[in-house]
Amino acid sequence: MTSTTTARPDGAGRPGSNGTTPAPFHLDAGSRAVFIGLMIGMFVAAISQTIVSPALPIIVAELGGMEHYSWLATSAMLASAVVVPVVGKLSDLYGRRPFYIAGLVLFMIGAVLSGLAQSFWWLVGARVIQGIGMGTLMPLSQVIIGDIIPPRQRGKYQGLMGAVFGICSIAGPLAGGFITDHWGWRWLFFVGIPFGLVGLVFIAKNLHLPHTPRKAVVDVWGIVTLTVALVAILLATSWGGTTYPWSDWHVIGLYVLGAVALVAFVLIERRAEEPVIPLRLFRNPTFTASNIASLAVAMGMFGAIFYIPVYAQGVLEANATSSGAIVMPMSLSMIVLSMLIGALITRTGRYKAFMVAGTVLMIAGFGLLTQLHYGSSYLQLTIAMIVLGLGLGATMQTYTLVVQNTAERRDLGVATSATQFFRSAGGTVGIAVLGTVMASRLPAAIADHLDPAAAAQMPAGTEIGIDAVLDPNVLAQLPDPVEEAIRMGLADALHQVFVVAIPLVVVAFLATLFIKALPLRETLHEAPAERAEGALEAAGPVAAEGSPEVVEAEESAERR
C-alpha cells in the first residue's frame, strides 16, 4: 500500500518548503480504505466515551454499586491512559498492524462483556478491557496517518479526525438517551459492534505498512514502573476532593507511590536499550512545548465539557433530559474550525499562527464564561461556548501534527502516543482540579444567599447542595427561596471554576509561543541530509557551528 504524489517540475514542492501551494497529493485506493477504517475505529472508540453518560444512573440503579459510581468512568479512563505510551513504543518496534487489530478486537470484546454484565464489578472489568482497546485505537489512528500521509498534507486529514471527536460529543449523549429509553442500556454497548466489525475488515484487508522489526530487549521494567506511576497518580487525582478528601491517606499514599515509581521509571529509562519513552525526546523543545500545551488545553476543554452542562442545568434550569445538546454550539464550532484549519494548514504550510490564535480564543471563551451569573441568558452561554469551540478547533489536532513533523521515523509511534497521553492526563487532572474548586466554594456560596428562615422550612434530612437542583425528586421538595439560593450559590461556585481555568489556558498560550514554526515536510520520511538541511534552515543564518541546532541536526543525521 502506498500513497501517490505528483512531483512539481520547479522543485517548489521539495521537503522543507513553506508558504507555497503543495504538490498535488492523492491517496491510492488501499490508503483511502485504511483511512476509512481508521475513521470508523476512531468513531467507535470516541463515541463509547460519551454514549454511556446519560444511562449511568440507570445502570447503577440496576446493578448496584452507587458508592463506587465513579469507577464506571475512571476504570476505562485509567486503562486507556496507561496503555497509550506503551502501545506507541511497541508499535515502533513490531509494527502498527497487529496492535491496531488487537485493539479493535479487545474493544469489541469489552463492549460485548459490558452489555452482558450481571454485576457492577463485572461491568467495571469490562470497561477496563474497553479502555485498553481505546488506548490502542486512538493513538495508533494518528500514528498510521503519519505513516501514510506527509505532514504538509496531513492537516486536512487530522482535521477530519478532530471532527469525529466533535460529532461524537454531540451524537453520543443524544443517541445514548434515545437508546436507553427505547431499547435499554445494554444496547449502548452492542450498538457499536457492527461499526467495529466494518472497521476491522477495512484495516485487516488494506493495512500493510512496510516495517523492519528492530531487535531489541523490551523495556519490561520501564513498562511496569510507568504503569504503577500513572495508575497511582491518575487515580489519586480522580479520587481527590470527590471520593476522598485531598488530605486523606488514600490520596496522599497514592501520590507518594506514584512519585517513587516515577523516579524509578526515569532511572530505568536512562539505561534502557529501547526505553518505552525515550527521554531524549524531551530535549526537543518543540516536542516538550507541544505536550505542555496539549496538557493545558485538555485541562480546559474537559473542564468546560464537564461543568458547562452543570451550569446550564443547575443555574439556567435546563431540562436534564436534554443535557446532551447543551454543549452542541461548542462542538459544532469545534468541528467546523477543525476542518477549516486543517485545510488551511495543507494549503499554506503554516500552522503556528492558527495555534496561537486558537489559544487566545480559548482564553476569550473562558473570559466570557466568567461573566455568566444567576440570571444570565442562554444567548450569553451560547456565545461563550462558540468562542471556546473555535479555539479548540484551531488547536487540538494541530499539536499532534507538530510533534509528528519533528519526530524521527523510529519514534513516530511513541512521540504521537505521548501527545495523546498528555491530552488524556490533562482531561483527568482538569476535571479533578476544577471539581475541587467547585466543591470547596459551593457550601459558602449557597450560605451567602440562603435565608435561614427559608432553610428552616425544608423537610428533615434534605440535602442543600448541587444534587438538590439536579435531581427532580429532591427539587420538588424545596421551597422556592431555597431553590433560588442554591442556584445562585452554584453560579458563584462555577464562576470561580471558570476563573481558575483561565491560567491553565494561558499556560497553553505561552507554551505554544515556544513552538518553533518548522517547515512541514512534503514527503513521508526525510533522508538524513534532508533532515539536517531542514534543521539548519530553521535555525536561521545566525546558527553557528557547534550551536545546539547544528549539533542536533548532525547527530540526527549520524543516527540515521
- What are the φ and ψ backbone dihedral angles of 483, each rounded to 5 degrees? -60, -45
Residue 173 in contact with residue 52, Cβ under 8 Å?
Answer: no
304-314 residues labelled b (16+ CB within 10 A) or e (exposed): bbbbbbbbbbb
Looking at residue 21, what is its pLDDT? 54
Residue 302: C-alpha distances to residues 176, 273, 298, 323, 517 (Å): 19, 37, 6, 16, 27
256, 73, 435, 233: CA torsion to nearest 10: 10
**CA of 168: how far to CAs of 46, 174, 281, 398, 401, in Å?**
6, 10, 32, 19, 21
pLDDT at 505: 93
pLDDT of residue 371: 93
What is the DSSP-derived secondary structure letter of residue 26? E
Report how far residue 538's alpha carbon sits from residue 406's, in angstroms, rounded to the nearest whole number.
12
DSSP 252-283: HHHHHHHHHHHHHHHHHHTT-SS-SS-GGGGG
What's the gap between Cα 362 and its chain centre?
16
Q: Would you say the C-alpha torsion 388, 393, 397, 399 has a positive or negative sign?
A: negative
The per-type count for the chain, helices as H runs and strands as E runs, is: 21, 2
Q: How many CA atoms lie within 13 A of 278 on its CB side?
A: 20
Low-confidence ranges of the chain (pLDDT < 70): 1-27, 53-54, 57, 65-70, 73-74, 211-216, 242, 319-325, 454-476, 522-560
Question: What integer pLDDT is reported at residue 476 of this predicted model?
Answer: 67
pLDDT of residue 510: 95
Cut 0.85: pTM above it:
no
Report the distance separating Cα 108 and Cα 45, nearest Å.
10
Euclidean distance between CA atoms 41 and 5, whole angstroms:
26
**Grid coordinates given for 549:** 541546532
Angle at 444 between CA 438 and CA 447, to 5 degrees: 130
- pLDDT at position 557 is 42
Please give the pLDDT value at position 322.
Answer: 60
Dihedral through CA 551, CA 553, CA 554, CA 560, nearest 10? 140
Residue 19 φ/ψ region, left for φ over 0, alpha for ψ in the -120 to 50 degree band, beta for the rest: left
SS3 track for 56-118: HHHHHHHHCCHHHCCHHHHHHHHHHHHHHHHHHHHHHHHCCHHHHHHHHHHHHHHHHHHHCCC
Four-CA torsion 541, 543, 549, 550, nearest 10 degrees = 100
